Structures are given as C-alpha cells and as structure tokens.
Structure 1
Amino acid sequence: MQPIHSIQVLRALAAFMVAVHHVQPDAAIVAMHAGLSFSRSDILPWMAGVDIFFVVSGFIMVHASQDLFGRVGAAPTFLKRRLARIVPLYWGMTTLFLLVGFAAPAALNSGVPSLGQILASYLFWPAVSTQGVVQPVYSLGWTLNYEMLFYALFAVGLLLPRRWTLPAVTLALAGLVGAESMGGPLPLPFGFWGQPIVLEFAAGMGIAVLRKKGFRLHGALRVAVAACGVAVLFAAAHGWDTEGTWSVVLWRGSAAVLLVLAAACGRERTVPPAFPIRALAAVGDASYALYLVHPFVIRGLREVVLRTGLASPGLYIVLALGGAVLAAVLLYRYFERPATRLLRRWLGS
C-alpha cells in the first residue's frame, strides 16, 4: 500500500518535537558551562509528539492491514510484521544504552538496572525501574510498551470476524482504562496499560475507518482542521490546565486527532509532492530511528561541544537536532530497513 506523504511528514514532526523537548536540558548545561543564560522554549508541548505517534499508529495499523482482515492466519502474520518492524532497532538501542551505561555510568542519568528490568525491557513488559518509575532500561521505550499492548490486542481482534475486529480492540482498550480509572490503582501491568493515553490508538483507528469510507477534507477545511490542532497545542502549552493523565489526553490527544485527521483525510494527490514535502516524508520514514537515536546524539554532541569550547547553547541545539536527523536517516537506511527485511524473511512474513 502506498504511503501517505502527509502522514509521513506528521511522523517526522512528531519525532522532532520529542527531540526538541530532550535537547533543552542539555542546552542549559552547555549554557551554564559557558556562563551564559538559557531559557527553555515551551511554545508547544513538545512531548505531544508521542500523542501524535499513538494516533498515527492506530491509523496505520488499520490502513496498512486491509489485506489481513478476515483472512486465515491474519493474527500471526500481523504480529510477525510488527515484530520485524519494531524489535531490531529497539533491541539495538537498548543494548547500546546498556553498553554505554556499564562502560561509563556517569554518562547516563539512571542507576544500574536489575536483571529483571533488563529482561522486561527486551520483552516490552512494564516493570519498575531502579528510580521507582514504570519504564524500561532505555526510558524512551515506555511508548513501545504501549505499542506492543496495542499490537497484541489488534492481533487478537484479527481472530474475530472482520466486522468485530475494530470494535473489539476499542472495547478492550476502553475496558483497561475504565478498570484503572474506576477501580484502580491496578497492579502491574494493568495499571500501566490502563492509562487514558491508550485511547489515542482507538482514535487513530477511527480516522482510518473514516478514510476508508471515503471521508475527505478539501482545501480550506483541511487547513482549518490542521490549524485547530495547532491552536489546541498552543492552548495546552500556555496557561490551560493540562496536568493529570486525563487532561493530557484531552488536550494533547485531541490536538493529535485533529492533525492526523487533516493529514490522513486530504485529497488524493495525482502529482508527486514538492521537494520539501518529499524531504520531510523521508525523515518521516526514519521517524522511529529519530525517536530512538536522538538522545545518544544529543548527549554525545553535548560532550563534544563542552570539550571543544564551542559552548554556545544555540549552536549546540542546531548541531544536536541536525545531527539527530542525519543519524536517524543513516540508521534507517543502513540498519533499520535491512534488519526489518531480514527478520521478515526469517519469520516468513
């Protein structure tokens, strides 16, 4: 199935937002060493990039799995495809993180993980870290723990008749959230899985259904929907109450839904997109790599900048974000994509 360029662009922007969030504390350290002032920018709630990812994920799972609905053997085929896509890069980054942590513990902001936490991290199972937080060894993997829950529920849904797949997945997600909200706190892993953010997967699935039924936003209306999404993000970043799991989802999640709706339900293009869109879409292809690799680039370049005396926070941010994008594109081309193809062949998917 042909990729939707606007969705790929949105994936690139979402990953970049998360990188912007993470680069700023290191920029403050660079500024402090140089005796300069630095004020972080929160013009947008940068971690809303995760919410966009979750809505996009719900959309893509339905959009890209049309050939599986109602088919014999659909569930294992789906799981094999997703494992081939997710596992190689995440396991690689987790292993790299562990190697760095064992070689230079001071370079990381976390304690030595237990063997149980390490095992749980590789299995995408929610576990309590040495800091008392439910997160894997490589902390960015908390989002993948949610993704794997969604994939597992989606695979189970594919065992059902076609018309029941999406309602069953949605009901399961809502049931987890309802149980945690009304009867919680629940023990792990259910307390983790029952957070309202998982409802964003269901929202993305709904957008895919709308698109399949022919729903389209044209011209000014599409721009208006996207603008509303950006406006909600601005509101979430400036003065509105966005504390608490439900408030975060209501604000950041609703903005993500509007942005994905505008990206996914536009008019079909009959001509190739312009160069800037193609370039952003290429970064979108590498968005998973950008999400996982950017902390290594940010921290590595921080040390380079401090040791070379080029301690300008502005220059550092440009170098770190640009370096993260370049590293992600290279990682996608020379590791992620070949590893995914190899594992798919090995799994027979």
Structure 2
Amino acid sequence: MFHMPIASHWRDWPLIQHGYLFVDYFFVLSGFVIAHAYAERLKTARDAGRFMVRRLGRVWPLHVLMLACFVGLELCRLWFHFDTASPFTRDRSVEAIFTNLLLIQAWHIHPYLTWNGPSWTLSAEVACYLIFAALVLVAPKRFRWIGAVLAVIGGLMVVEFAKRWMNTTYDFAVPRAVYGFFLGCLLQGLWTRIPRLKAGAATALEVATVVMCCLFVAWAEGPVTVLVTLVFIGVVWVFAGEEGKVSRLLDLPVLVTFGRWSFAIYMVHMFVLTVMLIMARKLHWMPNGRRIDFGSVWLNDLFAIAVFAGIVGLAVLAHHLVERPAQRLIDRWTKPKPAAA
C-alpha cells in the first residue's frame, strides 16, 4: 500500500506514508531468527558456506525471475517504443543488471534504486548474512556483543550521513540493516532470560505493543525515525514468547498462508505496479500525473483492492512454481551427508 500510486482513502494515512519503516521490523526479526537457527550450527568454514548457499537459495531465484521480468519489459520498450522513456538508462542500466545478479546493488554502488527497487533489502540482508557468518566463526561466544557494537555504528552512520535518515536504501542500506539485524541477534541471546507475562497480562501487552508500534510509525519523521528499530526490538520480544491471544490469532491458517506468500508478494508487486503505471498513462487514468484517480475515491479503493488481489495471485504462482521448487533443490544440494559408520 505504501508503494501503490492510487488515490485511495488510505493513501495519505500517516501509517501508510511511513510504511517504509516496517522494513526495519524485517531486519530485527531476521537477526533474531537467524541467530536462533544458526548461532550454534556454524562451526567450520564449510558450515558457513552451506549457510550462505541456503540463504541465497532462499531469495536469489525469485529475485532473478523478477529481474528477468523487468529486463524483458525494457526490451519491449526498446523494440516497440510504447512510451518516451529511454531504454536501459539510469536505474535500468545494463551495468545495474550485474550488480543486481550479485545482490550488491545496495552497497552504495548506484546513486538510486535499480531495476526491481524493493530488492535493495535482499542486498542489505545478504551483507548481514556475510557479517553474521564471519562473526560466528571468529568469535562464537561473543559474536552478539560484537554485532551489537556494529549495530550502534550502523545506527550512528544512518543518523550522521543518510540524507533521509531511516528512509535510506541504495546508499546506507547496509548500515541500516546491520543496525536492526544485529540488535535482533543480541535480543535472541537475551530473551529467554527476561521474564515474560502470561495469560491475560500477555494479551494486554501484545495489544498495547501493536497500538504503540503503529502510533510511533505513524508519528515518526526525521532523525527520530532511527528509534523505530528499538521499538521493533520490543515488538519481537513481546511476540517471540507467543503467550497472548494476539499471537494465537496470528496462528490462523489464512494468516500463516499469507505469511508463506509474503516474500513472493514483496518481490512481484513492483513489477505489477510498473506495468500498471505504463497502462494508466496511456489510458489517461492519472489526471494529476502522480496517482491513478477515477474521480471517485470509492472506485479508487476498489481498484486498489483489485490490484492487490492480482499481485497476490501472481505471487502465489511465483511461490509455487519458482520459490518452493528452488528451496527444495537447494535443500537437497546442501543437506549434510551422513557420517560413515
């Protein structure tokens, strides 16, 4: 909804306008989960190599599929001249294809987002994986505290150098990701030692946490946005225990299924929106030049819901035809061989 250029009722809600901050929830949660799953399992360089192959296998196939879709769209632009944009220029340059294939496009290489814009998060996440694997190998008992130091440095770099603070992507994406990821790793090492509430008190805390989180995201602007990572640390701590009724609500099959599709939704949506914008300009659906507007906000809402449904439909196909088969293949490749008797 943050990316969708449709003049809907919710388009100007502060929570939607600041929706980019929820990427930092992903970084915190990712650090927590990766530390939980791998902190005790990376003993050798071979373990670290297997870890990187598995993590890349989780994100790279779908990333390459969508990159191919964008390149295909650009070839159509070159051959059929369906708009005035110059093919393979700026954020759609040929050299950016290779940085995207290597998932280094957000390592302060380009002066803007390139190709499938949201994939900058994958690039930053891969950098975190590399740092995580190196720290666990070199200092397995202290990697969380070393990572915490790196997190503080990353946060300070965002405050000091990022022009738009936490709304930084292609330039200071890696410091931003390191800030959240390694605080998530630190939380994972501490959360079992911190007492948690039970029953009704846990439910009240979960509800209060969701409300306060949404209020903060809706309110935060400027340098204060850097504090959102600390807010998300609290959110992950509250929900990791799964003690309240909100946690049980999140276990509903429909929400679990959407969670399973969420990466595919994230990866395909910008391509759908890009094609939609090309069509909208041709059909004069953008009277102000910035957003699709049919003259009725309610009609705009219905169109936005239909676009979202279409995105989900394509995401489900991508999930079942590309994402899951690639995961199974990578799992077979990296499965440790049983030791000889």
TM-score of the superposition, structure 1-length normalised? 0.73
Q: For structure 1, which runs of at least 5 residues remain unmatched after alignment?
A: 1-19, 32-37
Opposite residue 58 of structure 2, the aligned amino acid is R
Q: Is the 8 A contact 1:176 1:190 kept in 2?
A: no
* AA at the equivalent of 1:331: A
The secondary structure found in structure 1 opposite 2:11 is coil
1:226-305 pair list within 5 angstroms: 226-238=207-219, 240=220, 242-244=221-223, 247-250=224-227, 252-267=228-243, 277-300=252-275
- 1:39–1:182 distance in 2 versus 1, CA, 3 Å: closer
Aligned residues: 307
Contact 1:43 1:234 in 2 (8 A): no
Q: How does 1:306-321 map to 2 (within 5 A)?
A: 311=294, 312-321=299-308
Verify: 1:224 aligned to 2:205, yes or no. Answer: yes
Q: 2:325 aligns with which of 331, 335, 338?
A: 338
CA deviations 1:115-169 (Å, max 9, x no partner) are 322211111212554xx32x33321111112101100001102213431232233
Three-state SS of the structure 2 residue aligned to 1:47 is helix
Report the Cα distance in structure 1 between the residues aligned to 2:115 and 2:160, rounded to whole angstroms.
Answer: 30
Q: 2:13 aligns with which of 19, 42, 45?
A: 42
Q: Could you tell me how far apart the structure 2 residues matched to 1:190 and 1:295 are?
A: 16
Aligned to 1:52: 25
Q: Tell me the C-alpha RMSD between the 2 structures.
A: 3.8
Equivalent residue letter for 2:271: F
- Contact 1:58–1:204 at 8 Å: present in 2 too? yes
Aligned to 2:339: none
What is the CA–CA distance in structure 1 between the aligned matches of 2:265 and 2:126, rounded to whole Å? 19
Shift of the 313–302 alpha-carbon distance from structure 1 to 2, 3 Å rule, reads farther
Aligned equivalents of 1:300 and 1:48: distance in 2?
25
3-state SS, counterpart of residue 163 of structure 1? coil
How far off its partner does 1:337 sit?
A: 0.9
- In the other structure, the counterpart of 1:3 is none
Q: Which amino acid aligns with 1:103?
A: C
Assess, with a 3 A threshold, how the Cα gap between structure 1 residues 335 and 63 changes in structure 2: closer, same or farther.
Answer: same
The one-character-per-residue Cα deviations of 1:192-215 (angstroms, maximum 9, x if unpaired) are 356445311122223322344475
1: distance between equivalents of 2:70 and 2:114?
11
One-letter identity of the residue aligned with 1:323:
G
Q: What's the % identity of the aligned pairs?
A: 24
SS in 2 for 1:136: coil
Distance 1:279 1:194, change over 3 A: closer
Residues 58 and 205, structure 1, Cα contact 8 Å, conserved in 2: yes
Report the CA distance between 1:73 and its aligned residue: 3.2
* Secondary structure, aligned partner of 2:141: helix
Looking at structure 2, the residues matched to 276 and 162 of structure 1 have their Cα atoms a distance apart, in angstroms, of: 33
Unmatched 5+ residue regions in structure 2? 164-168, 286-292, 337-341
**Superposed, which structure 2 residues align to 1:1-349 within 5 Å?**
20-23=1-4, 25=5, 27-28=6-7, 40-44=11-15, 45-70=18-43, 73-104=46-77, 106=83, 112=89, 113-125=92-104, 126-129=107-110, 132-133=111-112, 135-178=113-156, 192=172, 195-213=175-193, 215-219=195-199, 220-238=201-219, 240=220, 242-244=221-223, 247-250=224-227, 252-267=228-243, 277-300=252-275, 311=294, 312-347=299-334
Between the aligned partners of 1:205 and 1:167, the Cα distance in structure 2 is 9
Cα gap change, 1:92 to 1:150, in 2 (>3 Å): same
Distance 1:202 1:275 in 2: 25
| Secondary structure at the counterpart of residue 267 of structure 1 | coil
Map Cα deviations across residues 230-279 of structure 1 (whole Å, 9 max, x no partner): 324324424x5x114xx2221x323322322222122399xx96797221
How far apart, in 2, do the equivalents of 1:339 and 1:184 lie?
36
Task: Tell me the distance in 2 between the aligned counterparts of 1:39 and 1:191.
Answer: 29
Change (3 A) 1:276 1:151: closer
Distance 2:72 2:178 in 1: 32
